[in-house]
């Protein structure tokens, strides 16, 4: 309910996708934490990881960022999107309830007028950002030459490719899922439809018919 109230997506999606998909990330990476010495002997913690997440999957993005960082022994400073921070704060309350040591997980807020990548504190060893290509470029310039590691998950134009032997009814449902899931606010949304030329009219017609019934 918090995720839906904060983000605006249907309760059906937060109930069936966002929350159930978030928890397994912590289970999965907890397993890696137990196996780190034997399976990843050459790897180790790097220190403080700064993380910036967008508003389209607030809690799921938090899980993607925080779980692997903690599993490798790092501490994190996570900035949620300014308009969708409720579940991040709820997560911080859970961290306090389970007696996670202070300073291991830090949730910070920054108002829009104060949000500048070049104000990044020097102690952070890695920056992990998911968001727009424009902001990704700003962060890249601000961290250049600093020695910080940087991972960027930016916007893309993902193709949905259809050949002449495809099941067109399945194609139509696949396109609906690819581009309109989460109202289309997905980094890998299928925003380009590439159809083999000799069947191009059929899926286009079926898609128009399907869109008339889309809720």
CB 195 within 8 A of CB 162: yes
H or E, element range at 87: helix 86-97
Distance (Å, rounded) from C-alpha 62 to C-alpha 64?
A: 6
Is 65 exposed, middle or buried, given 0-12, 13-18 or 19+ CB atoms closer than 10 A?
A: buried
95 in catalytic set? no
Q: Active-site residue among 82, 97, 153, 173?
A: 153
Active site residue 43: no
Going by C-alpha positions, the residue among 150, 149, 148, 174 that lies closest to residue 161 is 174
**Measured distance CA(97)–CA(118) in Å, rounded:** 34
Which of 3, 187, 188, 197 is flagged as catalytic?
A: 187
Q: Are 124 and 77 in contact (CB under 8 A)?
A: yes
Cα separation of 19 and 86, whole Å? 14
Catalytic residues, by residue number, are 153, 187
């Amino acid at each position: 309910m918090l995720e839906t109230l904060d983000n605006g997506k249907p309760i059906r999606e937060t109930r069936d996708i966002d929350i159930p998909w978030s928890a397994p990330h912590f289970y999965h990476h907890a397993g890696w934490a137990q196996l780190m010495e034997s399976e990843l002997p050459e790897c180790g913690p790097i220190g403080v990881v700064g993380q910036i997440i967008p508003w389209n999957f607030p809690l799921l993005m938090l899980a993607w960022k925080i779980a692997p960082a903690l599993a490798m022994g790092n501490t994190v400073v996570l900035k949620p999107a300014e308009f969708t921070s409720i579940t991040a704060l709820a997560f911080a309350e859970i961290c306090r309830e389970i007696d996670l040591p202070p300073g291991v997980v830090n949730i910070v807020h920054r108002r829009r007028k104060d949000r500048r990548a070049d104000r990044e504190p020097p102690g952070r060893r890695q920056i992990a950002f998911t968001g727009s290509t424009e902001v990704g470029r700003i962060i890249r310039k601000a961290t250049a030459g600093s020695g910080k590691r940087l991972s960027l998950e930016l916007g893309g134009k993902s193709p949905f490719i259809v050949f002449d032997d495809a099941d067109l009814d399945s194609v139509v449902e696949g396109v609906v899922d690819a581009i309109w899931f989460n109202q289309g606010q997905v980094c890998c949304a299928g925003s380009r439809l590439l159809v083999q030329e000799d069947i191009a009219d059929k899926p286009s017609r079926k898609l128009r018919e399907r869109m008339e019934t889309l809720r």
